[in-house]
Amino acid sequence: MFRLLAAKRTTALRTPALRRMLSSTVETMQDESPLAARKVLTLESMNPNVRTMEYAVRGAIPIRAEELREQLKKQPGSLPFSKITPCNIGNPQQLNQKPLTFLRQVSALMEYTDLLSPEMIESTRKLFPEDAIERAKRNLSYVGGAAGAYTQSLGIQEVRENVARFIEERDGFSADPANICLTSGYVSYAFAAAMTVSAHLTHYLFVV
């Protein structure tokens, strides 16, 4: 799987890169197993949508937008507009949408845990609402009080259990936390999904 690991180090996922990554995986697995001809996933046998998928965050328009942004920096007034707002990714704060306060409050408390100490808790209650304080304490209990430490490979167990309960309540179908994988965003999900397909693992849900 060396070629696959090497492909993971690319900074941007584009269709050619994905094809090369999948092709390398297939070739490597065929070399390693005499039964590969009958069992391994190939470019011909896989879902054609996987072969043609694209990482649409990049492309001609975003690249041109970056060029125009640089032009505005170096030559203010050279274009009939003064600002470029990227709309190719989910970035509502670029349009001045107020961030979700609760999430940032919880994150702040988890990152600076001294705010939850007995010596500072009364001062903290003057700045943070009680529900944010309780959520931060609960989340920290999931990781032994050490936010930022390594977790299980699939993600924090309690969080995956919460995701499973949410799916059951929303969709009416049972969900197994063991089949749920937490990722840090779209790109890491795409790589993980490609690896899952290549390794013959199925029935995984990626939460990004």
The 3-state DSSP class for residue 162 equals helix
pLDDT-derived band at 50, boundaries 50, 70, 90: confident
pLDDT in tens, 110-160: 999 999 999 999 999 999 999 999 999 999 999 988 888 788 888 999 999
Cα–Cα distance for residue pair 170/46, rounded to 1 Å: 31
Task: Give the torsion sign (CA, 48, 56, 202, 24).
Answer: positive
pLDDT in tens, 150-197: 888 889 999 999 999 999 999 999 999 999 988 877 777 777 676 666
How large is the greatest C-alpha to C-alpha distance in the chain, in angstroms? 67
Global pTM reads 0.54
Task: Give the torsion sign (CA, 87, 90, 91, 93).
Answer: positive
Name the E strands within the chain. Answer: 180-182, 205-207
Interacting residues of 141 by C-beta distance below 8 A, sequence separation 6+: none
Degrees, nearest 5: CA angle 40-44-46: 65
Closest by CA to 131, choosing from 108, 158, 105, 162, is 105
Cα–Cα distance for residue pair 21/7, rounded to 1 Å: 6
The 3-state DSSP class for residue 206 equals strand
